[in-house]
Structure 1
Amino acid sequence: MADLQALADAVIKGDQKTAVDLTKSALEEGTGPGKVLEEGLIAGMNVIGTRFKANEVYIPEVLISARAMKMAMEILEPKLVEAGVEPIGKAIIGTVQGDLHDIGKNLVMMMLKGAGFNVIDLGVDVSPEKFVEQAKENGAQIVGLSALLTTTMPAMEKSVKALKDAGLDAKVIVGGAPVTQGYADKIGADGYSPDAASAVDLAKSLV
């Protein structure tokens, strides 16, 4: 039997080579790709998410784990598609217009992927129009907006308004250093998260 606990441990440690090797051998032994994803990769990222929330690990460790997961996902993704394993939801994510910060956004994106979401990264400096267009085009259930500067917070408000005005069903979640729950409520966002691990819980609760 494939050792999916060892795969989870490799993700937790951020050991890319082992994560890739164990993913390959699990598939070769006939373990279902959905099971490899759930009990190996997602299980590992869940542990990291929990530790991150408890301040037991920090952003560098999370990024190293996420990278190991990403390498393993490259092998797993085609197999998941073949097996017809559906993602738990579709999300698009980007940093709002005028803002070029992407560490927080990338972290949220990795953690969402690690939780089984199909995530499209729009990058940085994304206009309200682009958020609307991409949300429509991709049938996104979740739209994530990130801002790191107080000066770009109005762009976040404009983006939320544009998405709501477009009549999209997508739930809009916001985050970033200057953003608060109060601000999220004020601009009409569907949710706010102070960190990447909480963003995943929030996204899950909204799909």
Structure 2
Amino acid sequence: MVWVMGKAVTISKDYGCGAVEVARRLAKDLGYEYIDKSIVVDLAKKMKTSAGKMTTYEDGVSLGLFKFIDKFMTQAKVQNILSDDFGYVDDAGYRLALEGLMKDLADQGSVVIVGRGGQCILEDRADVIRTRLIAPLEFKKDFLSSKASITKDEAETIINAKEEEKKRYHEKMFNRYHNDPTLYHVTINLGLVSQAATCAIIKDLL
């Protein structure tokens, strides 16, 4: 099969660097769907009832994405798949479901996927642009403390905990380091590059 470059974008990120805002902006600019952990959880909850399904459609979620999440749910429970308890990572059902979801989303195309190891699962796909967004610690502390209305010390504690969690997840799940530069087409420092310029750089790769 011959793939067309740029059907999907994955974004790996430092916690608290502003990457989510960039990803949402990029998706809006491209007319792509934005996918992250919270979107999957929210969809999964809505899909439990007919009324929820209707609400999902009314919210503008595509039928294709809805079906993908539905398929995902039937293979493993969402609370296990997307929880922060690392016990689930050893579950074969989790791995199959996550890989299936990522590959289905990439097949659908026109998606910006944030987190969950998309850069590892889709590493060999020429139609997926894999990006990493980072920032210096002081930048992240300033960003997170302002956004969450917490002190910089509190922000640093959260950032360090989240980064350690992410490190363990990728090592256990994929036997890879999430900060391995060879996984990505480009790594961008949001402490030095504006959100608009970052989106422009990624769009140039499509």
TM over 0.5: no
Q: Which structure would you say has the larger RCO, counting Cα contacts within 8 Å and 6 or more residues apart?
A: 2
Length-normalised TM-score, structure 2: 0.32
Length-normalised TM-score, structure 1: 0.31
